[in-house]
Structure 1
Amino acid sequence: MATMGLIESPEVGKAERMMMEDKLTSLPDEILQHILSFLDTKMAVQTSVVCKRLRYLWVSLPVLSIDSESFRYYSSFSDFVLSVLSRKDASSNICKFWFDISNPIYSSIQMCIDSHDLFEPLVKRVIDHVVDHGVQHLSFHFPRIVDELPRLFYCQSLKTLELLEIIIPPNTNLDFHTLTSLHLVKCSFILDGEGTLDPFQCCFNLKNLVISDCRIPSRVKSFEISAPQLTNLTISRMEHVRNLNPHCKIVLTSTKIASFKFVESHILEFSIPALPFIESVDVDAVLADYLFGNEGLAKRKFVSHLIEMLRAIGGAEIVGLSFETLTMLSKFPDVLRCPSLFSRMKVLKVKVPHGPSSFTIPDKIITSLFSGSPTKDFKVEHLKKQQGRAQERLNI
């Protein structure tokens, strides 16, 4: 048993094992359940064979963490999932549910079956269980289209949702009325026809939204973010061609945003309203040189989009800008016209690629950034930019 390796180790004598088992079984149910909650559900179920005291504790755990990685075949994985869901204590709600079915778990026979038909009954069963058992925090990783996704819209208990590699059914708005946090990673939208995509308009209670490396159809001319209570918005790893049309406009209508992050992303055109509550911004924009070659006018147009975005979020007091962003601005100094970009900035955090000694801010950029600030008592923090692209996940 991987989780109980110390108990079953041959180096530990029978007396020691009995002593450890006595200590374990003497703990209150609440403590034991808390410990088991940190385990993968498969491991938690396996602990039931360690002793009678643990035999049925897993059925009332408030956390489920099911990952297909430890299963060789889909059939065994499906049987396990259905068995767990059917044996869970119906009187105890599941607070957190991680469900990952992203690994290749097909046998040679199952490979011949249409994957959508193969997975659909299991996915439907899982979503039904989420809706019926008071799940508050769900992380769902499934790199296929999910026809049953709208069923989650009616889950009154769901507060935090993370979707990874989900293909959202055509023309489906994400109408999560009760959701407060939504994290979309490598998800794909499908739009019949062309025009505007506004998937969050019915997320009436959404406060935290992360859109990371998602695919938006090239036919979309305007991608709207209109959740009325939105407070924290992060857009990350969005690249031209790979993720969306370079000429797609991001239209932000939420006026309550206090934190805005646009990181590791190609420059996009934004339409942003007045943001009276904006406090902090973090911008790490990239100019897609491979799209423009030596076309200076095209580059200038996209840098103008960047400057207009910075002006729109210019009421922030805490500002984070990457080395690449500042370098880009310094190459087009004539587009930095008055009024200054930031009117209330007190702190500038600069992300540099190597270290503080390798970077200085050009005077012309300092003038443009800070000339309108009511105070000169700001500081520059040199932050070493993190290597790689570690996935930012919801804290659920």
Structure 2
Amino acid sequence: MKANSLIRKTKRKKLKAGKETDCAGKSISNLPEEVLEHIVSFLPIHEAIRTSILSKKWQNLWKSTPNLSFDGRDSPKRKLFMDFVERVLVLRGPSNIETFRLSCEAKDDQSRIGTWISAAVNRNVKDLYLVLSDIESSFVFPRCLFNCKTLTEFEIDMLFILKLPSSISLPCLKILSLRQVTFIDDQSTQQLFSLPNLVELEIYECNWKNLVWVTICAPKLQQLAIYESLESTPANSGGCHVRIFRTHLAHFSCCGTLSNEFCLDESSVVETFIFLNSDGDRRPRETACRSYKLLEGISSVKTLYLTTDVVDVLDHASDLLAFPLEFRNLTSLIFESDELNLHSAGFWHIIYNSPNLRSLYFSDVTFCTLQVSSFRCEVPFL
């Protein structure tokens, strides 16, 4: 009798637990469709699609997912990955896309990829990230991409020639990141760099060899970062002359060998990083002139980070130092990496012409035989 009683109690508990689970499932499904769509939107797209088996109500929820991210770089079955992307874009219907990320090998699917980009643009994409490899030289972005009225953030990481249309209209674009691309001509590149609402611009290891003179004139630009590629400009080339005109930057970074010339004209900047790599420099006089011109354009800077090469190379154009570089707003000066020659005319020129300098900081700098990993000096008398 006791055994039968225990069995009945166990069955009742299991039945009760099953009902509670069923009720919990029903209670989630009873939520408004907008709430369920919002929940599904946080899932990766392949997980979002799996929710369609839960019930009829869930069957089409994934189709409204606004954020699509596809990464096939480590996929062992490339064709299956490409077919999956295609099916998702076809089946999800006309609902808007907020974010579209695609990382894969392009190979012989370049026209297919162009169609996907067009689909994202036609669905009012806001954030577009493209990391593509194995691209043929004939690849061209669909024209509609550069006339997208909703695009606010655009990142390209592609080793290819960026062919731009003669007319570019991206009125909402605020953040632009270009990595490894080769620019094709001055005019179209300048259009891209001078968009009316651009706030952040990153140009990372791009190839400038086809350019002669380009102006960056984006009135709302606040952050500009330029990282030169060591192989982007032929040794016998004068590089590109880049004029940064009428900008009010909070942050400016310039890193490389100054194989291109950068100057700020009628511009202001609060914080600047200039990291010069002059190892094996075969054109020290030209590099010195370009360093001087770059420093001259950032005279309004408040915080300045320099590699020691920047001041050392100025000694190759000592005649220019007869014309003072004035840093009246500079309060913090930070030197980073390598050996600093305290007899450098360039070093003392900057120190003496910074009347409001309050903090001088050395990070991982060698003074002759003295190794300094970190040292700060307060200079209230300057």
Normalised to the residue count of structure 1, the TM-score between the two structures is 0.72
The structure-2 alpha-carbon separation of the partners of 1:349 and 1:140, relative to structure 1 and needing over 3 Å to count, comes to same
Alignment of 1:316-331 (within 5 A): 316-329=301-314
Contact 2:268 2:298 survives alignment (8 Å) = no
The structure-2 alpha-carbon separation of the partners of 1:343 and 1:249, relative to structure 1 and needing over 3 Å to count, comes to farther
Alignment of 1:221-370 (within 5 A): 221-239=212-230, 242-245=231-234, 246-259=237-250, 261-270=252-261, 272-289=263-280, 292=282, 298-329=283-314, 336-352=321-337, 365-370=346-351
- Kindly tell me the number of residue pairs found equivalent between the two proteins: 340
* Selected match of 1:209 from 184, 187, 201: 201
The farther-off stretch of 79-88 and 18-27 is 18-27
For 1:261 and 1:268, the matched residues in 2 are separated by 18
Deviations 1:302-361 (A, max 9, x none): 1221122111112111211124434544777665444135232112233346xxxx9796
The structure-2 alpha-carbon separation of the partners of 1:243 and 1:40, relative to structure 1 and needing over 3 Å to count, comes to farther
- Structure in which a larger fraction of residues adopt strand: 2
Task: Provide structure 1 residue ranges, at least 5 long, that are not aligned to the other structure.
Answer: 1-14, 104-114, 293-297, 386-396
Q: CA deviation at 1:274?
A: 3.0
Which amino acid in structure 2 is aligned with residue 320 of structure 1? Y
Alignment of 1:57-206 (within 5 A): 57-69=61-73, 71-90=75-94, 92-102=95-105, 115=107, 118-143=108-133, 144=135, 145=137, 146-165=139-158, 167-170=160-163, 172=165, 175-178=168-171, 179-190=173-184, 196=186, 199-201=189-191, 203-206=195-198
Deviations 1:49-107 (A, max 9, x none): 467775443222221101123543443223211211122253x422111111238xxxx
Contact 2:264 2:294 survives alignment (8 Å) = no
Which amino acid in structure 2 is aligned with residue 99 of structure 1? L
**Aligned counterpart, 1:12:** none
Deviations 1:363-385 (A, max 9, x none): 85553113233424x21345579
For 2:342 and 2:49, the matched residues in 1 are separated by 57
For 1:362 and 1:38, the matched residues in 2 are separated by 59
The answer to which structure, 1 or 2, has the higher relative contact order (CA under 8 A, 6+ apart) is 1
For 1:168 and 1:36, the matched residues in 2 are separated by 38
For the aligned residue pairs, the C-alpha RMSD in angstroms reads: 3.8
3-state SS of paired residue (1:220): coil
For 1:70 and 1:312, the matched residues in 2 are separated by 45
Q: CA deviation at 1:231?
A: 3.2
State the structure with more CA Rg.
Answer: 2
Contact 1:170 1:189 survives alignment (8 Å) = yes
Task: Provide structure 2 residue ranges, at least 5 long, that are not aligned to the other structure.
Answer: 1-16, 366-382
Q: CA deviation at 1:42?
A: 2.6
Q: CA deviation at 1:270?
A: 2.6
The structure-2 alpha-carbon separation of the partners of 1:256 and 1:283, relative to structure 1 and needing over 3 Å to count, comes to same
Normalised to the residue count of structure 2, the TM-score between the two structures is 0.74
For 1:67 and 1:87, the matched residues in 2 are separated by 19
Contact 2:250 2:270 survives alignment (8 Å) = yes
3-state SS of paired residue (1:79): helix
